[in-house]
Amino acid sequence: MSHANTVTLAAAESAPLEALRVLDARLPLLDRRELARALAPLVVHLHAPMGAQESEAMTTVVMALCKRLYGDARSGDALPLAQALLVQAGVTGDETLERRSSSLCGLLAADTGDVVGAIAYHSRALALAQSHGDLIEQGGTWANIGLAFAVAGNHELAVRCYRRTLALVEPLPGPVYCRYTACANLANALYQLGDYGEGLRMARAALQELTPDALEQDIHGAILQHRNLVRLLIASGRTAEAGVHVSLVASLAGRVTSRRALIAASLTRAAFELATGHVDIALTRLEDALEKARSVPAALRDTLSFVVRAEEAAGNAERALVRFEELSAHVYQQAIDRARDHVELAGLWESALSRTEHQQGQARARLVSSQRPRGEPEEWKSLQRLAMAASFRVDDTGLHGVRVGELTKALAIASGMAPLEALEIGCAAELHDIGLSSVPEAILAKRGELNEVERAIVERHTDAGAEILRDDSHPRILLARDIAKYHHARWDGSGYPERVGREFIPPPARMCAVADAYDAMVCGLGRREPMTMNAALAELRRGAGGQFDPHLVDLFETVIRDETADRGIDPSTMAGLEDFQRLVLSLQEDRGYT
């Protein structure tokens, strides 16, 4: 190759890198749409083959940019760039890059609320780590999966994942970074579950793994680690010991610019000031933190939760109530906004990439990894993942919606509906609880009866679901919206929304109500113990004519009786989920739907 050609090639390779560096400086000035347009050519470039040196340089800059966007609570804007890096790993056959970019995609996806998508990415990274027998990378990936479950509000599942990390790296000597993150995250999860003694032990174990290199690699994480210690020491009645960690948090905060890290530091100091009787100082600091958090939606929820507890502890009941109402409204709106962001971003990036590819004369088909099933709304996969993420808050399997969808489909067929129509209703019923993401996790996890305010917040999840699904130009989404809105309406009109009863309830919602209640009873969801399938049928019969459409209850019982008999399942035994899962799997068989 001639010298001139070499120079030309080097200039071509440096152009995308230079564009990324210029973009990094302009980030604060760009809104979502402008950023998508600016990133689109770079995303397209990452889909094409490139030399090892350029690929390595692009990886470094892309990962730094994604980390910057994450710190500014713009993970949704960063995700398409991280996904393009994952494509580059496939193009080059670089398994190390594939694992790293899969993990990056998983962390960003979880931060946007797409917990199911995050776990899929992390599972891909885990498989690669397992294929190489790399215990450290396996441990790190399990810790990331735990973080995804924590985002979903299921701290019990998160604890299991963190313990899996610790078991994997237990034989390894010396400080191990993933052992540090697992101990730190486990300490926080145990704090959330009220196990302060074990949480404190884990937090101290994390400190032993926090090397100077690990601290420099993640100062934000170190701030959170000392925050965990402060919280746990205060909760354990050992407030005096927390002072040294508060000082360390203040020192670390002086070395970062990330708004998330600075807010976490302020909350840590305020917690200590409250515990030591400096209430006025703490409340002033919290007001300042709250003002900062209003521009960082990802941090606003935790900040408002802390402010509610602080005002209540200070005896300011009215101020606490005002903040609690704001917290409820924020969680409700955040759930809707997050869901709609997924749909908007998908369309926005599709438009930006199509325009860029047209300009560069590239075929759009190269960027599409698979075709959606015919007749399916283009945003359906995103909505399914969001519904499953919401389900993880009440069901460790995350499959409550899937099971309800299959049961609803079977009931629709028993009602005389055509197979294709029944299939659409079953698909739509999978999303019935998508609005549960709008309910603060502390309320869903509460043991015992809910008070009137908490009950009202839970009941709003039907409105949130309908709001998420309000773009009903596709028939399936219209079905899903009706089901989400009315699946808690009662036959006698005493459910919610109020005064909607009998035949005024959309038929698919009436069907879903029966299937939803049955699945919850058999699987032990919603603060109840699991029942046998027979006992759950008896409860449905007791609710017929009051909570449920009596005709549908009769049909549903016939479906369950027929299916259990055909499969040799005894519905009178407590076999856990195994037999019930067999029943649901039998309903998934193609019975002329297509």
Could you report the per-residue pLDDT of 33-50, keeping only the tens digit for each? 788 888 888 888 888 888
pLDDT surpassing 90 at residue 473: no
Cα–Cα distance, 110 to 112 (Å, whole number): 5
pLDDT in the model for residue 239: 92
pLDDT surpassing 90 at residue 451: no
Taking residues 196-201, report their average pLDDT: 94
pLDDT in the model for residue 470: 81
| Domains of the chain, earliest start first | 1-133 (1.25.40), 378-587 (1.10.3210.10)
Of the candidate ranges 119-123, 192-196, 278-282, 349-353, the one whose mean pLDDT is the lowest: 349-353
Dihedral pair phi/psi, residue 435, rounded to 5°: -75, -5
Distance of CA 405 to the CA centre of its chain: 21
pLDDT surpassing 90 at residue 164: yes
Taking residues 233-260, report their average pLDDT: 88
Cα–Cα distance, 369 to 379 (Å, whole number): 15
Dihedral pair phi/psi, residue 548, rounded to 5°: -120, 155
For the chain, percent of residues with pLDDT exceeding 70? 84
Radius of gyration of the chain (CA): 26
pLDDT in the model for residue 374: 43
Cα–Cα distance, 66 to 73 (Å, whole number): 10
The model carries a pTM of 0.73
pLDDT in the model for residue 357: 45
pLDDT surpassing 50 at residue 373: no
Cα–Cα distance, 480 to 487 (Å, whole number): 10
pLDDT in the model for residue 14: 55
pLDDT in the model for residue 484: 92
pLDDT in the model for residue 9: 33
Mean pLDDT of the chain: 81
Scan for tokens 């080097």, then name that residue. 10
Size (the chain), residues: 594
pLDDT in the model for residue 336: 65
Contacts of 203 (CB under 8 A, 6+ apart): 183, 184, 187, 225, 228, 229, 232
pLDDT surpassing 80 at residue 417: yes
Question: Cα separations (Å) of 499 from 290, 459, 486, 487, 515?
Answer: 39, 15, 11, 14, 22
Where residue 306 falls among pLDDT bands split at 50, 70, 90?
A: confident
Cα–Cα distance, 306 to 121 (Å, whole number): 32
Taking residues 419-428, report their average pLDDT: 89
Cα–Cα distance, 199 to 249 (Å, whole number): 19
Query: Which stretch of DSSP H or E encloses residue 424?
Result: helix 419-429
Closest CA to 408 of 551, 587, 563, 545: 587
Could you tell me if 506 and 376 are in contact, meaning their C-beta atoms sit under 8 angstroms apart? no
- 186 or 374: which carries more pLDDT confidence? 186
Distance of CA 320 to the CA centre of its chain: 27
pLDDT in the model for residue 500: 81
Tens digits of residue pLDDT in 528-578: 788 888 999 999 999 999 999 999 999 999 999 988 888 788 888 765 556
pLDDT surpassing 60 at residue 144: yes
Distance of CA 175 to the CA centre of its chain: 30
For the chain, percent of residues with pLDDT exceeding 90? 26
Closest CA to 250 of 222, 276, 292: 222
Residue 425's DSSP bridge partners are none
> Is the peptide bond prior to 475 cis by the omega test (within 30 degrees of 0)?
no
Where residue 5 falls among pLDDT bands split at 50, 70, 90?
A: very low
